[in-house]
Amino acid sequence: MAYDLSERLVIGLASSALFDLEESDRVFREQGEASYRIYQRDNENKPLSTGVAFPFIKRLLSLNELSPDNPPIEVVLLSRNDPETGLRVMKSIEHHELGITRAIFLQGRYPHRFIPALNISLFLSANRQDVDQAILAGHPAGQVLSSGDLDLTDEEELRIAFDFDGVLVTDESETIYQQQGIDAFHEYERANAQVPPEAGLLAVFLRKLAYIQMLEKQREEETQGAYRPKVRVSIVTARNAPAHERVIHTMRSWGVTVNEAYFLGGIAKEHVLGIIKPHIFFDDQASHLSATSDILPSVHVPFGQLNHGLGASEEGAVRPGLSSREEGAA
């Protein structure tokens, strides 16, 4: 019987999100593809160092203990390497004892084409071009940004934080704010407080996380509290009253209960995020992420008019994990 992905939480992952490829990227840029191929072969048995998304992925995969015979989470490597140069990545995965056994090697071609076929709820890469292609095709994707702070402790809790507009829902309300101002935005949100916005790119990912949390609650009840739930989900948004109500009604309509919500009304998000310390944070605005990426793993979801139209800024506003290489180790 074929391995069914339809009911699982599936993450698609470029090696540039999982491992530190700075040295490999430099060889490719400065010496070319032939030297890069030799370099990877010579270092085939030298494990790559962990990258920005590694703590998130490691903790996420640990949740498969909830159902070892039918694991609820699957992570698939989607790599621009060819199979030979990608062998070092697979050996590094084995070295770090990650439960990733499925991989696709594309020799420079775009990976986003495989997102629907593999039922992927989130694709992560440090390559902005790959992420843009995925989002333009309507698929859930985010660019992992360079970060100086990686939580590699043995702590079991997994904390995930989301912005709301442009991430969990579309940028419909954000566009009204940008074009008409705060008063028009608040008036629109009051009038539509009971009406959920159109779901955004990461809505399915959040719903799949909610299912994992349900499995955790069941395990907690079965073990009479011996098992303690690990997943903790937060919404960190620039919305405040009265626009907070629509967020709550949206979560209710989706059947999702988040653990925490922060309605900051313009307070810098890094102040709160520095306290709750999520293992990954998703936001659509580069201006927010330029500060958060210094203190925690951050993912840019370049969706909507702020990124591709109204108010769009240069990509240099955030620091990508790989800035130049389009065809190699991502």
What distance in Å separates the CA atoms of residue 86 and residue 174, rounded to the nearest whole number?
41
Alpha-helical runs (H) found in 182-243: 182-191, 203-222
- Which backbone phi and psi does 37 adopt, to 5 degrees? -60, -45
What distance in Å separates the CA atoms of residue 286 and residue 297, rounded to the nearest whole number?
14
The secondary structure element, H or E, covering residue 273 is helix 269-276
Look up tokens 């209960």; give the residue.
257
Instruction: Give the angle 322-287-267 at the CA atoms, nearest 5°.
Output: 140
What distance in Å separates the CA atoms of residue 97 and residue 69, rounded to the nearest whole number?
18
Active site residue ranges = 163
DSSP annotation of 329: -
Enumerate long-range contacts of 112-118, CB under 8 Å, 24 or more apart.
Answer: 112/137, 112/139, 112/141, 114/12, 114/78, 115/12, 115/139, 115/140, 115/141, 118/5, 118/10, 118/12, 118/76
